[in-house]
Each structure stands twice: as C-alpha cells, then as structure tokens.
Structure 1
Amino acid sequence: MDRLERLMKELTEAGGISGFEGEVRKKMEAYLSPLSEELLRDRLGSVVGRKTGDPNGPKVLIAGHLDEIGFMVTGITEKGFLRFQMVGSWLPHNVLSHRVRVRSRKGEYLGLIGSKAPHVMPLEERRRLVELKDMFIDVGASSREEVEEMGIRPGDPIIPESPFFTMKNGELWGGKALDNRAGCALAVELLHALQDTDHPNIVFAGATVQEEVGLRGAETLANLVEPDVAIAVDVALAYDTPGHENHPLQADLGKGPVLFLMDHFLIAHQGLRDFLLETAKDLDIPVQFEVMMGGGTDGGRFHLQGIGCPTIGIGCPTRYIHSHNGIMCRKDFEQTVRLLKELVRRLDRRKLEELLA
C-alpha cells in the first residue's frame, strides 16, 4: 500500500457523520498542517490550510466535505434494540443487514441493522420495501438497562462499518465514505503538489462539515475565507453500470474527472467552466459532464458568498454512493489532482478579471 492508498484508507475508515466530524477533522488537520502556512477553522468544524503564492493574488478556495452519511440513535426498546433516524440521504434498500458502529460517551460498539428471515415472512411482506422507521439495530444487548450501561442514548451517532479495499490490482478503490473523503484527499494532494510550485494566488484547501444535511459548513467556511474563486471537489455519479444505458449523460470510471454543469443549487460559472475545459485540453485530460438536479455540492453555498463568488464543482465518477460500499478509479483521482494544480498555477488576478468580464 503506497502513500496515496494509505491516505484514502485512513480518511474513509474514519468515522464522521454530519454533525460529528471530529475524528476525521483531526486526521485532515494532521495531513494539512505540514503542507500549510496556517490552518483556519470555522466554529462548526470546517478546516482549510493556507498556501500563499502571491499575497496580492486572488483567494482560491478548494474544498471537499468531511462528513459522511450515517444514522442517529432516536430510541431504545425494552429488549435493548436501537431505533434510529438517517443522517443524510439513504435508500432503505441499502441499509438492512449492514454493520454499523454506535459511538457513545463510553466508547464505540459494533451493531447490526437487523432483518427478518424470509422463512417467517408472507409473500406480500417479502415484496414490500422495509421502511427505515421499522428497522432496528442490534448491539448485542438484552435490555434497555444494558444499553444504557453502554452509555448509548438518543442523539448518539451511528457510523457505517466498511473497510477500505482495492480491486483490479489497485486501479479501483472501494469502501464507505468515498463521498466525500475523496474530496478531502484531493485537497490534501493538491497542497502536496503545490509544495515546490510557484502559483499567483492564495490557496485555501481543506474540507467543510455538514454538507450532506444542507451544505451548512460551506456557508460558514466561505464566510471565514471570503474567497474570490471557489472549487467544490466532490464525487460524481458513475453511469457505467446496468440500468443507466439510456441516461442522457455518460460518466465512466477511468475516463476522467467530471465537471458539474448544473445541480439543484449551482450553475457552473461560465468563465470558470471554459477555463477548466481549456486547461484540461492542454493537459490532455478528458473531462466528463454531470447535470444532477436531485442534489448538489458545497458550490451551492460557496457561490453566494459576499457579492458573489465564481464557483464550479468537479469530482471523480463513483459507483454506489450513499451506501456502505462505493467504488472509484485511482486514475480519475490522479488526473483531477493534476488538473486542479494547473488551474491554480494559471489563475492570477488578471485571469480572474478576464473570467469575470
């Protein structure tokens, strides 16, 4: 396992659902600190490292988000099972029989989202989708009192349990929380790539909190940094699996980074869009496209900062997001790092004025 795989493994396996990002934030800070002149934090927990090229250049914010989707304890049954609510967006199909970690004030406990055996289910029930409100988590307890002794109480976070893995001789990465620890890793790798490179601006690279529940940390972080330009780095949907044959757009693993043209919260800034595409062409990096009206990225808040902040979103195509196991391609990640580095290298005050004209 090389340095980049170790980075992805450590970030993806860390627990940090929306509102409870402390563990993964500490890991991000450990990676960002030696690559930055200064770490900046907002009061919700978002963090960025500052890397100055030209102190009079534009401020460029490039950020992923720390949080992952998960669950929260909402109740305890008399026999010691947990009731829960989703934090972020889940499909019930992806939840049953998966392992989770319940984090209480006394420690972490392995849990299993329980399910009925088909043998005792009538045909009608087998065909019916199990709703989240009817699910429960088994932590091995036999009573409410035993659960309370474990320190578990309503409001505690529940983290998906799924180790990082690789496929195809390391060409593919898999595991939980690729959305959006991949974006966190992109921010780290960008600062790593800029260590021996001159650039004509001030880069703020890092990650926000609470993206999955309404882009909340993006707003507070943008208020802190006050960027002139912003790039949200996230994951994009891959459409190369069965069932997407008739999708109007195509985003395949291994065929390059994805530019978000439009989502529910943001229309890509025209000047930045063209600048990115021209830069990618010069680097011979293919770019794929996404229009995602059912969701969005932190760019939806970044671009509303102050009097307006030119913003785009870019990410790596990823299969099976918002589940316990996603899959993405290392090559796409590495190409995205190269593209971000060159964008930073070319983006000076004069170029920014040109983009805004």
Structure 2
Amino acid sequence: MANLDETLTMLKDLTDANGIPGNERQPREVMRKYIEPYADEITTDGLGSLIAKKVGQDGGPKIMVAGHLDEVGFMVTSIDDKGFIRFQTVGGWWSQVMLAQRVTIVTNKGDITGVIGSKPPHILTPEARKKPVEIKDMFIDIGASSRDEVKAWGVRPGDMVVPYFEFTVMNNEKMLLAKAWDNRIGCAIAIDVLKRLKNENHPNVVYGVGTVQEEVGLRGAKTSAHLIEPDIAFSVDVGIAGDTPGVSEKEAMGKMGEGPQIILYDASMVSHKGLRDLVVDVADELNIPYQFDAMPGGGTDSGSIHIARNGVPALSITIATRYIHSHSSMLHRDDFENTVKLIVEVIKRLDRQTVDRITFE
C-alpha cells in the first residue's frame, strides 16, 4: 500500500472502525479524536450522535454539517447446537453480495472472525445455481463445534457483525477502496470542514455532526437536529456512481472524479431551492466541479433534519461511490476534497442576511 498521508490515515482509521446502527462507539471515538482540535465544544445527544461546535460569530446562524457514523452490517440473533450463528441484517443488503464473505463479530471478549457460509457449486442443482440464496437461510461459521464453545468465546445474541475489509489505496492513488465509506466519508468531510474553518472568519456557528442510526431510518439526524436547532443543514453522504458496466444513466448519473453530487430529489426530501441555488452559484464562481443527481429510492439525513422542529432549509451533497452496501466500495479522493472546499466556501457566505434571503426562495 502507498504511504498514508495525514488525510489517508484519518480515512483509514474511520473506515476500519466497526459500527453498525446502535453500536457506533468505535467510529464516534475516532471522529472525536480527529475533530476535537478544531472544535470549541463537543457534546452528544441521547442516542449517541457526536456534535462538534465551532463558533465563528456568536449569535450567527447555526449551520449543521452531518455525516452518519453507522455502517450497514448484521446482528447475531441465535446460535444453533452445532455452533453456527444466525443473524439479522441491519441496514439494506442485497443477498447476492453476502455469501462467502469474511465478517468480524464484535464481542465483550474481543473480535471473532467468521465467514458467511456457502455451498460449493458441485452439490447444487442447475436450478439452485440460478437462484439467489435468501438472507434468512444464511449463517455465519466461526469454526466452532457447539453452542457452548461459541458462548465460551464470548459471542452473544445482540452482538454486532461487521464486514471485514482492508483499507486500500489503488494503483491510481486517487481511487480509495474500503468498507464503510457509507458513511465515514461524510464524517471525514465534517472533520475537514471544521479544520479548514479553524483560522477563518465566518459569520455563523458551525456544527460538525456524526449522526447515529441513519441506515435504519435517519434516527440520529432527528435527535441531533432537535438539539442543535440549525438554521441551515447539509447532509454529506455517499451517492450512487453510475460509471460502471451494467448501470445506465437512467439508473444513476453520477461519475467518480467529477465533483460533489448536488442532490435535487430523493425519497426523503425535495432539496431546498434557495440553498441549492446558492451552492451552485458558489461552485460556478470558484470553478469547483459538481454534478446533479436525483435518487427516487433511498434518502439521507437531510430527510429527517429538514422537518425537525419548525423546518430547516437542507441540502444533501454526496460523493459518487461504487458498490455501496457491500463489503467494499470505491470513491475518488478529488471528490472528497472538492466537497470540503465547496461546503467551506458556502459556509463563509452564510451570514444572517443571506440565510434570511435564501430561506424563503
């Protein structure tokens, strides 16, 4: 692997952390370590979302930049008498990406390696080979011979199970392959936005937030927005990359390396027109590349934030990412850096007058 610079080390630490919905302690501690030097105050809400506050101007508009800490994974539900583990998906999975994949079970006694079992093709009928295995029929093998042995190793129902994958810089060093880009890249964006604002004058109060339980219903976004009461919010997340074989532009327009995706519409919200227009104007002014996308399925934390309290102008800005909701996904470093640059430049323009002007457009 290429030598890791400061940014890549942060990205590796964030993606290596294990944290499915409801179990976000590891990524929260990593995010806290990296964002603390740039924050005036760090708090959490009652569900565990991390909220880092950076004051530019006391009493200025409150700007929320939210990535979610959780990743899709699984939860142990039962152990059979032969020591095989049954599990529940936590977040959205397609069965075809799961079989024979390595996983980590996080227990109170430490991490246990397992694999999602699969039948060899030699014993499958021609009909069975054509049919995907249903998730309810899958199991995890940790090399145990009995239920008692599994329990002795510390595995209990409720333990989280996380995809295993090593952070990798590809031959094209702009291309980064890892687990949990969805959505540790959003957490990294929130960290770097505060970092860039550390020595800048900005006319507002910025909150860099790592929300919890996004993958199971945008839950931490709701509680953290209730606590912050933002005037403006950005949800930063992964988007769909449509630049691989078999994906048409009708399904996904995004392309890696062509800039942040400004989301016009998704299943959870219609993006705020005034805020969207401001972001596009700033990108055009500074020649920051960007692309538009709309996702009729799925949503982001903006879906909860924009209807918090009496309503918040919100916009989702995403990074085109290949192979999300699987063991590994790929994104382009330039898109990360351009997203940070764009959000920082927009925040520097969000004074009270501008916020009031765009709110009702």
Which of 244, 247, 253 is the matching residue for 2:247? 244
Q: Which ranges of structure 1 fall in alignment gaps of 5 or more residues?
A: none
Is 1:336 aligned with 2:339?
A: yes
| 2:45 alignment partner in structure 1 | 42
* Secondary structure at 1:200 match in 2: coil
* Partners of 1:75 and 1:8 in 2: CA distance: 34
1:158-198 deviation per Cα after TM superposition (whole angstroms, max 9, x unaligned): 01100111113421111100000000000001111111111
| 1:21 alignment partner in structure 2 | 24
* Partners of 1:239 and 1:168 in 2: CA distance: 21
* Partners of 1:293 and 1:19 in 2: CA distance: 26
| 1:303 alignment partner in structure 2 | 306
Q: Percent identity?
A: 47
* Secondary structure at 1:102 match in 2: strand
Aligned partner letter, 2:305: F
* Partners of 2:255 and 2:33 in 1: CA distance: 33
| 1:291 alignment partner in structure 2 | 294
Contact 2:15/2:179, CA 8 A, preserved across alignment = yes
| 1:207 alignment partner in structure 2 | 210
Residue range with higher mean Cα deviation, 233-242 or 164-173: 164-173
Contact 1:215/1:300, CA 8 A, preserved across alignment = yes
| 1:275 alignment partner in structure 2 | 278
Aligned partner letter, 2:45: D
| 1:355 alignment partner in structure 2 | 358
Aligned partner letter, 2:317: I
Contact 1:79/1:142, CA 8 A, preserved across alignment = yes
Aligned partner letter, 2:67: G
* Partners of 2:137 and 2:251 in 1: CA distance: 36
Which of 44, 69, 82 is the matching residue for 1:66? 69
Aligned partner letter, 1:286: P
Shift of 1:206: 2.1
Which of 153, 172, 182 is the matching residue for 2:175? 172
Please, what TM-score do these two structures have when normalized by structure 2? 0.97
Q: Which ranges of structure 2 fall in alignment gaps of 5 or more residues?
A: none
| 1:147 alignment partner in structure 2 | 150
* Partners of 1:5 and 1:312 in 2: CA distance: 27
Please, what TM-score do these two structures have when normalized by structure 1? 0.98
| 2:320 alignment partner in structure 1 | 317
User: What is the Cα-based RMSD across aligned positions, in Å?
Assistant: 1.0
Contact 1:16/1:68, CA 8 A, preserved across alignment = yes
**Moved >4 Å (runs of 4+):** none
Task: Classify 1:249/1:21 alpha carbon distance in 2 versus 1 (closer, same or farther; 3 Å).
Answer: closer
* Partners of 2:187 and 2:295 in 1: CA distance: 21
